[in-house]
Chains A and B, each alone.
Chain A
Amino acid sequence: MTMQGFVYIAVFFLVLLALTKPLGIFMAQVFEGRRTFLHPILRPLETLVYKFCGIRETSEQRWTQYSGSMIAFSLVSFLFVYAIQRLQGLLPLNPMHFSTSQAPGYATPLTPDLAFNTAVSFMTNTNWQAYGGEQTLSYLVQMAALTVQNFVSAAAGIAVVIALIRGFARKETNTIGNFWVDTTRATVYVLLPLSLLLALFLCFRGVPQTFKSYRTATTLEGATQNIAVGPVAGQEAIKMLGTNGGGFFNANSAHPYENPTPLTNFVEILTILAISSALTYTFGRMVEDTRQGWALFAAMAVLFFAGVFICYPSEGGGNPNLARLGVETKATDTQPGGNMEGKEVRFGIASSTLWATATTDASNGSVNSMHDSYTPLGGFIPLFNLQTDEVIFGGVGAGLYGMLLYAIVGVFIAGLMVGRTPEYLGKKIEQKEVKMAMVAIIATAFSILVFAAISAVIPFAKNGYWNPPGPAIANFGNPGAHGFSELLYTFSSASENNGSAFNGINVNTPWYNLMTGLAMLIGRFGFILPTLAIAGSLVAKKKVPTTSGTLPTHGALFVGLLVGVVVVIGALTFFPALSLGPLVEHFFMREGKLLSSLIIHAVWS
C-alpha cells in the first residue's frame, strides 16, 4: 500500500462524483424526451431508426408489453449472434480464416455449444468469454455481432431502469414508456456519442483500429511472433461504457492493445462506472427529488469504498508466507511489494485492485489483472460484489434497478418499524412489490448456488462429449478450496451477467457452456422481468404525500439501512459457500498453509 495508491483511488472517486450530475441531467433530458444539445446532430438519426423500424415514438406500453418487446428483442439478438458465429467461415472480414480449413493451428473451434454460450453472453450484457477472441472470432463477428450487442444489450438495461423509475415517478396510470424508444434513445444519445469520444481517445493513445490481418514479427531471439490486431478501439470503448466487459483479446484490458497506458487505464476504469453513477442522478431528477438519487449514490459509494479498502490492503499486504521466507513484500522505490502475481507491472496494485472492484461493482467483467491470482480476501471482494447482485453503481441500468429492488426490501422491513405500511417515494410497498423483489433476489441466488452445487459433484466420463476433462471438478485450475472459489466465481459471474472469471478454470466444454449459458439467462430475465412487474405495479399506485410520519429515504439513516440490507442478504445467502472458498483459503494463508491441505505437509514440513 502506498500513499500514491490511496490518492489514485481518491482522485478516481472525485472525478466519478464530478461526472455524476452533468451526465445525470443529460440522461434525464433524453429519457423525458426533452431537447438536448445533441439533438441538432442526432435527432435525424433517432427519427430515422423509428421510421426504419416502424416505431411510433409517442405510443406507450404497459409493463407486459414492455417485457414482451424486451424478450422479443433479446431473442432476435440471440439468433442473429448465434447464426453469424456459426457462419463466420463463409462471411467476409475474416482475414485469419477462422472456422475454415485455412484456420491457424492455435484457433479454437467455434462449436455449437460455444456459439450458444457466446450468443447468450452478449445478448444478456454478460460478455462471459469461454473463448479467446483473437483465436476464435472473425472481425465481422467481433463488430457486427458482439459490438452491436454491446450497444443494444446495454441500452436495454438502461431502458429497464428508466421504466422502473417511471413506475415511481408517474401515478395512477398503466404505462411505463416504450421499450423501443427508450432503447433507441439510450443508444443514440448516450452510448453512441460517448463511445465515439472514447474510441477516438483510445486510438490516439495507441489502441489499434484496423481490418488488416495479424502481424508477424521476428523477436530479438529470432523467433517469429504473431501479433493480433483488429478493429479494437471501437469495441473497447463500448465494452467499457456499456458495462459489457468482453475483450477483443483474451487478456482483456491487461492487453497493451486494449489498454496501452496509465491514462487509458484511468479513463477505462472511470467509464466502467460513469453512466451507472450518473443514472442515480437521473433517477433523482425524474422522481423530482435529487436527494433520493444522492442517497442511492451514497449507499453505493459506501459499499464501493468498503470493497476497495479491503481489496487494496489485502493485495498490497501480499502473502505473509513469502514475508516469512525473508522476501521483501513492502513497497519500495524499486518494486511495488505486495501480491503482484497476475497484475501488470505498468498498472501496479492500486489501479489493479480498483479495477477488480469496479468491474465487479458493475456488471462489467473486464479485467486488467487476473482475479484468480489475488490473495483470498482480495479475491473475496470481487466474488462478494457479484453475489450481492452488482448494485454498487452496477451495470448500466442493471445496477440501479438492482439497488432499487434492495431498497424496496429494506423499506419494507424497516418501514414497518415506523408503524405504517411501508412506502418508498410515495408508493406503497405491498405484496406484489415484495414478491417480485424476492423473486429477483432468489433467481440469482438459485442460479449461483444450484449450478455450482451440481458442478461440484456431477461425474462425467473422461473424454466424453459433455466434459472431456472428466468430472466437472476436473476443469478446476487448482485443487481444494481455491478450485471451489473458481467454480463459485464462474457461476456468480455468469448469473450476475458480469463476465469476468477466476481464470484458472477451463469452461469451454459443452457442460460449462450450457450451464453458464442458462445461468446468464436466469440472471438476466429472472431479474429484469420481476423489475418490470414492479414498475407496472408501482405506476398504477397513488402517490402518498410525504409527512413526518413517512420513513425518510434520503438521510444517512436510510443509506446505512440500504448498505446493511445489501450486505446482510448477500452474506446470509452465501456465507456457507464463501466459508468453504475464500474464507478457509484466507485462514490457510494465515496459518502458512497452501491452497490445499494435501500440499501443506509436503511443502512446509
Chain B
Amino acid sequence: MPTATTTPPPQLDDLMTLVPRKMVRARPLFDPQLMWRATRESFVKLNPVTLFKNPVIFVVEVGAALVTIFLLRDFFLGRPGIGFSLQISLWLWFTVLFANFAEAMAEARGKAQAETLRKAKTDSMARRVLSPGKTEIVPSSKLRAQDVVICEVGDIIPGDGEVMEGIATVDESVITGESAPVIRESGGDRSAVTGGTKVLSDQIRVRITSNPGETFLDRMIALVEGAERQKTPNEIALNILIAGMTLIFLLAVVTLQPFAVYAVNSAQAGTVPTVAVLVSLLVCLIPTTIGGLLSAIGIAGMDRVMQDNVLAMSGKAVEASGDVNTLLLDKTGTITLGNRQAVQFLPVEGVTGGELADAAQLASLADETPEGRSIVVLAKQQYSLRGRDVSEHEAHFIPFSAYTRMSGVDIDGRMLRKGATDAIIQFVTEKGGQVPANFTELSDGISRTGGTPLAVADGDRLLGIVHLKDIVKGGMRERLQQLRTMGIRSVMITGDNPLTAAAIANEAGVDDFLAQATPKDKMDYIKKEQAQGRLVAMTGDGTNDAPALAQADVGVAMNTGTMAAKEAGNMVDLDSNPTKLIEIVAIGKQLLITRGALTTFSILNDVSKYFAIIPAMFAATYPELDKLNIMRLHSPQSAVLAAVIFNALIIIALVPLALRGVHYKPQSAAAMLRRNLWIYGLGGFIAPFPCIYLIDRVLGILHLA
C-alpha cells in the first residue's frame, strides 16, 4: 500500500508549471527585424518554380505576368488606357507579394529561433572511453552511437545519450529556456541527456545514442526552421478544395470571353473585356485570401505549439491533437497536485485531537516533504500549534526509510513515529502496546474515500491517524468539464487501487479511470479506444511508457523523461508539464478553425466582387446591368480596380489573424459552428461591400480611376 512518505520530492512546484515559460524571449508578433526579413523573403518567393506548389497564388502570378506583357505591348504600341492596366498589373503583383509575405512572416520566427539554437551547437571536445581506464579527446562531431564519453563539471555534453554511471546536475537552458539546473542520473527515468547541455556538477559516464546530425538539437533546429515541414493531410485536402475552386473560376472566366463576344456582337455595343479586366475578375474570384494564408496558418500553428515550449515532431501531430477524442491524463501532477496533503486528524478513543496533532507535528518538523509540511500547517490551523524550535530540546530525527516505512523524532525521551498503518502497528506491538479498538475502522474509512491513512504513535501508544488526501488541482474540474463540452473524454491513469482511484476520479470529474495501471493496461486501453474509431492522446516519461506513446495518436513525452519515451512520442514538452496536453489540443483545434474560417471568408468575399466587376465589364454592352452595381461604384475602371485592391489588401489585413489564430473558446461543436458562421460567413459576405465602396471613393478622390 502506498504511503505518504514514499512519494518522491517534487522537482518543481506544480502550480508554477502552469505558467508558460517561453523558450525564446517572446518577440512581438510584428517584430521589425522579422518584418524586414519577411519582406526580403517575399521577393525571393516570386520564383515560379517554388510558387508552383501554391496553385492559387501561382495562378495570380501567371495572371500578373500576362497583364504586364500586354501592358508592355500597349506601351510600345502607344495604345491608350496604360494607366489603368499599369495599376491593375501593380496590384496583382502586390497580391502575390502579400501572400508571400504572410508565409515568410510565419517562417521568420522559426528561422530566428533556429539561429539561436544553432549557436548552442558549438563543436565541443569529448572524452571518449576507449577501454576501461583509457580515454582520448575527440571532437564531438566524430562521436558515433554506442560511444561512451565522460563528462565533468563545465563540460558541454557532446551528444544525446543515456547516463550509464553517476549523477550530475545539468544546465539544459539551451533547450528548455529554463535556467534552473536539472538532475540526471543513471538508471530510472531521468537518465537521458541532450547534446549541447552543460554539466554543472559531478561526473557522469554517458553512452551516446545518436550519430552527428541526428541529435535532438539537430532535429529541433530543423523543426523550428520548418525545413522538414510537410503539408498535413488536412492542409492537402483544403489545398485540393481551393485548387478545385480555382479551376471552376478559371472555367467561369475563360468561357466569359466567348460569351462576351456573342453579347457584344448581338447588342452591337461595347467591347469585349480586355485581358487585364478578365484577369482581374479571375484573381478576385479565386480564393486568394485562404490560398495566400494557408501555409502561414500551418506554420504559425506549429510556432504557437513551440511558444508553449512543446516540440512537435510534425504538423500532422498538431493537427491530430485537434481531433483527439480521448485524453489519458496521469493522475499525479496532472489532475492532482503531485503529492498528498493532510486534511484531518482522527484520534483513536481516549486521545484528544490536540494530542494527536501535537505528536504528528513534532514528528513532521524535520520532514521536508510536502506531506510533512502539510501536517505542520494543518496542526497550526486546527489547533493553533506553532512549529516549535526543536533545537533547544534534545531531538533526534529518524528519516524515512523504505525498510521501516516510517519516520519521526526521538525527543525528550518520547519516540514519535508516523508512517504506514501496518508499519506503525508493528512498531507499537513490538513496544508492547495495543491497537485501539476503532483504529482499523478509522483507517478503512479513509481508504474508502480515496485518502491515505498515516498512523501516528508515541512509543507504545497508537494515537490516531492523519488523513492524507490527494488534492485535485484548482480549476481542473472546470477544465475537464470544458473538455467534455468539446466532446473529449478524459481518462485518469493511476497506480492507486480502484477504490482510491474512483474517489479521486469522482472528485476531479474525469469520465473514466484506469486504476493500478500497468504499461500494458495503458496500451490495451489505447488500442480499445482506437478500435472504436477514437483518437487518443497521452503523456508519458518513462521507458515503459514508450510503447503506449508510440501507439497513441498524440503522444507527448516529457523532456525530463527517457530518450526512449522522447523517441516514441510525436511531441516533447520541454517544460515536462503533463497538463499541457490540454493546451496542445486547443492549439490543434484553433489551427483547424482558422483554416475553415478563412476559407469560408474567402469564398463568400466573391459575391461582392461579382457585383463590382460584372456590371463594369458590360457597362457599354448592357448598360441595364448597372442595376447590379449596388455599391454605386463611380466608373467601370474604378470598380475593377477597387475590387482588385480590396482583394490584395485583405490578405495583408488578415495576416495577424492567420498568425495568431482565430479566437477560440471551448464550447460544443454546434455552438462553435454557429458563432464562426456568423463571424466569418456573414462577415465574409458583407465586409467587402463597404470596403470596396471606400476604395472606389479614394480612387476617385485621387483621380486614379
> Which A residues contact B (CB, under 8 angstroms)?
409, 412-421, 426, 429-431, 434-435, 438-439, 441-442, 445-446, 449-450, 452-454, 456-457, 473, 479-481, 483-484, 542-545, 547-552, 555, 557, 561, 564, 568-569, 571-577, 579-580, 583-584, 587-588, 590-591, 593, 596-598
B597 near A438 (CB under 8 angstroms)? Answer: no
Chain B's closest residue to A593 (CB) is B624
Q: Measured between C-beta atoms, what is the minimum distance from B548 to chain A in Å? A: 20
Can you pick out 19 interface pairs between chain A and chain B where the beta carbons lie within 8 Å of each other?
A416-B593, A416-B599, A417-B593, A419-B589, A419-B669, A420-B323, A421-B322, A445-B248, A445-B251, A481-B263, A548-B669, A549-B325, A571-B607, A577-B252, A579-B614, A580-B260, A583-B625, A584-B625, A590-B627
CB pair B673–A580 under 8 Å, yes or no, is no
Residues of B within 8 A of A456 (CB): 258-259, 261-262
Please measure, in the bound complex, the distance between the C-alpha atom of A415 and the C-alpha atom of B590, giving whole angstroms. 12
Residues in B lying within 8 Å of A, measured CB to CB: 233-234, 236-238, 240-241, 244-245, 247-249, 251-263, 266-269, 281, 285, 319, 322-323, 325, 484-489, 532-534, 588-590, 592-593, 595-597, 599-600, 603-604, 606-607, 610, 614, 618, 622, 624-625, 627-628, 664, 668-670, 672-674, 676-677, 680-681
A580 and B618 contact, CB distance less than 8 A: yes
Among B237, B247, B263, B589, find the residue whose CB has the most chain A CB atoms closer than 10 A.
B237
Contacts of B237 in A (CB 8 A): 412, 429-431, 434-435
B533 near A426 with CB under 8 A, answer yes
The complex places the Cα of A457 from the Cα of B263 at a distance, in Å, of 10
Q: In the complex, what residues of B have CB within 8 A of residue A548's CB?
A: 484-487, 668-670
Complex Cα gap A550–B593 (Å): 13
B232's nearest neighbour on chain A, judged by CB, is: A421
Contact A547 B488, beta carbon cutoff 8 Å: yes
Min CB distance A151 to B, Å, is 35
A596 touches B266 (CB 8 A): yes
Contact B251 A420 (CB under 8 A): no
Cβ–Cβ < 8 Å partners of A441 in chain B: 244, 248
Establish whether residues A409 and B241, one from each chain, have CB atoms under 8 Å apart when the complex forms: yes
**Which 6 A-B pairs rank lowest in CB-CB distance, beginning with the nearest?**
A549-B487, A416-B596, A419-B589, A547-B487, A438-B244, A587-B624
B430 to chain A, nearest CB (A): 57
Kindly provide the distance from the CB of A475 to the nearest chain B CB, expressed in whole angstroms.
13
Question: Bound complex: CA of A569 vs CA of B250, how far in Å?
Answer: 14
CA–CA, A479 and B268, complex, Å = 12
A442 cross-chain contacts in B, Cβ below 8 A: 244, 247-248, 251
Separation in Å of the B29 CB from the closest CB of chain A? 22
Name which of B233, B255, B588, B625 has the most chain A CB atoms within 10 A of its CB: B255
* Closest CB in chain B relative to A451 CB, distance in Å: 9
Q: Given A479, A544, A569, which contacts B266 in the complex, CB threshold below 8 Å?
A: A479
Asked if A545 and B241 make an inter-chain contact with CB atoms under 8 angstroms apart, the answer reads no
Q: Is the CB of A417 within 8 A of B625?
A: no
Chain B hits for A434, CB < 8 A: 237-238, 240-241, 244
Question: Please, which residues of chain A bring their CB within 8 A of the CB of B244?
Answer: 434-435, 438-439, 441-442
A419 touches B592 (CB 8 A): yes
A417 x B259 contact (CB < 8 A): no
Chain B residues, Cβ within 8 Å of A572:
248-249, 252, 285, 603, 606-607, 610
Given A417-B680, A420-B323, A445-B248, check contact A580 B259 (CB 8 Å).
Answer: yes
Residues of the B chain whose Cβ atoms lie less than 8 Å from the Cβ of A564: 681
B487 x A457 contact (CB < 8 A): no
Tell me whether A431 and B267 are in contact in the complex, defined as CB-CB below 8 angstroms, given that A452-B255, A584-B625 are known contacts: no
Residues in A whose Cβ lies below 8 Å from that of B597: 416-417
Besides A439-B244, A575-B610, A591-B624, 20 other CB < 8 A contacts? A413-B600, A415-B596, A416-B597, A434-B240, A435-B244, A453-B258, A481-B266, A481-B622, A548-B484, A549-B487, A571-B607, A572-B249, A575-B252, A576-B259, A576-B610, A580-B263, A584-B624, A584-B625, A598-B266, A598-B268
Q: A568-B603, A572-B603 are in contact. Are A417 and B672 (CB under 8 A)?
A: yes
Min distance, Cβ A536 to any Cβ of chain B, angstroms = 17
- In the bound complex, do residue A557 and residue B673 qualify as a contact, i.e. CB atoms below 8 Å apart? yes
Q: Given A421-B592, A438-B241 in contact, is the A431-B233 Cβ separation under 8 Å? A: yes
Contact between chains at B533 and A483 (CB < 8 Å):
no
State whether A418 and B488 are in contact (beta carbons under 8 Å apart), knowing that A431-B240, A579-B614, A580-B263 are contacts in the complex.
Answer: no
CB distance from B554 to the nearest CB of A (A): 13
A545, B324: Cα distance in complex, Å: 12
A residues in contact with B257, CB < 8 Å:
453
Residues of B within 8 A of A449 (CB): 251-252, 255
Residues A597 and B269 in contact, CB atoms below 8 Å apart: yes
Instruction: Please indicate the chain B residues that have their CB under 8 angstroms from the CB of A544 in the complex.
Output: 325, 533-534
Q: How far is the CA of A305 from the CA of B325 in the complex (A)?
A: 40
Contact (Cβ within 8 A) A417 B255: no
Q: B240 to A421, Cβ gap below 8 A?
A: no
Bound Cα distance A174, B502 (Å): 42
* Whole-angstrom distance between the Cβ of A86 and the nearest chain B Cβ: 34
Q: When chains A and B are docked, how far (Å) is the Cα of A583 from the Cα of B263?
A: 13
Assembled-state Cα–Cα distance A188/B442 (Å):
77
The chain B residue sitting closest to A575, CB to CB, is: B610
Chain B residues within 8 Å of A481, by CB:
263, 266, 622
Query: Are A549 and B668 within 8 A (Cβ)?
Result: yes
Nearest-CB distance from B624 to chain A (Å)? 4
- Cα A163 to Cα B674 with chains together (Å): 32
Which residues does chain A contribute within 8 Å of B592, judged by CB atoms?
416, 419-421
Q: Are B266 and A577 in contact (CB under 8 A)?
A: no
List residues of chain A with CB within 8 A of the CB of B606: 572
Q: Which chain B residues border A557 with CB–CB below 8 Å? A: 670, 673-674, 677
Task: Let me know if A483 and B252 touch, CB within 8 A.
Answer: no
In this complex, the member of B285, B669, B680 whose beta carbon has the largest number of chain A beta carbons within 10 angstroms is B669
Task: Report B-chain residues with C-beta under 8 Å of the C-beta of A591.
Answer: 624
CA distance A569 to B262 in the complex (A): 25
Separation of A446 and B249 alpha carbons in the complex (Å) = 10
User: In the bound complex, do residue A580 and residue B238 qualify as a contact, i.e. CB atoms below 8 Å apart?
Assistant: no
**Minimal beta-carbon separation of B592 from chain A (angstroms):** 5
Structural contact, B247 and A588, CB atoms closer than 8 A = no
In the bound complex, how far is the Cα of B681 from the Cα of A414, in angstroms?
10
CA distance A597 to B251 in the complex (A): 28
- Bound together, the chains give a CA A580 to CA B625 distance in angstroms of 9
Residue in B236, B251, B266, B593 whose beta carbon sits within 8 Å of that of A418 in the complex:
B593
Please indicate the chain B residues that have their CB under 8 angstroms from the CB of A542 in the complex. Answer: 533
CB-nearest residue of chain A to B319? A421
A438 CB to nearest B CB, Å: 3
Q: Determine if A414 and B596 form an interchain contact, defined as CB atoms under 8 angstroms apart.
A: yes
Q: Is the CB of A577 within 8 A of B669?
A: no
B248 touches A597 (CB 8 A): no
CA distance A545 to B233 in the complex (A): 21
**A571 nearest CB neighbor, chain B only:** B607
Within the complex, what minimum Cβ distance (angstroms) separates A409 from chain B?
7
> Which residues on the B side are within 8 Å of A429 (C-beta)?
237
Taking the closest CB of chain A, its distance from the CB of B450, in whole angstroms, is 28
The answer to whether A457 and B234 have CB atoms under 8 Å apart is no
Most chain A CB atoms below 10 A, which of B248, B595, B668: B248
In whole angstroms, how far apart are the Cα atoms of A196 and B486 in the complex? 53
Question: How many Å from the CB of B85 to the closest CB on chain A?
Answer: 21
Complex alpha-carbon distance, A563 and B116, angstroms: 51
Which B residues are in CB contact (< 8 Å) with A575? 252, 610, 614
Bound: A9/B65 CA distance, A: 54
Are the CB atoms of A576 and B256 closer together than 8 Å?
A: yes
Question: Complex: how many Å from CA A306 to CA B534?
Answer: 40
- Quote the shortest CB–CB distance from A583 to chain B (angstroms): 7
| Pair A430/B603 contact, Cβ less than 8 Å | no
Name the A residues within 8 Å of B627 (CB-CB). 587, 590
Would you call B258 and A454 a contact (CB within 8 A)?
yes
Flag if A579 contacts B628 (CB, 8 Å): yes
Q: Considering the chains assembled together, what is the distance between the CA atoms of A417 and B597 in angstroms?
A: 6
Assess whether B534 is in contact with A545, with CB atoms less than 8 Å apart.
Answer: yes
Residue in B260, B266, B532, B597 whose Cβ sees the most chain A Cβ within 10 Å: B266
- Decide if B261 touches A551 in the complex (CB within 8 Å): no
How distant is the Cα of A247 from the Cα of B238 in the complex, in angstroms? Answer: 44
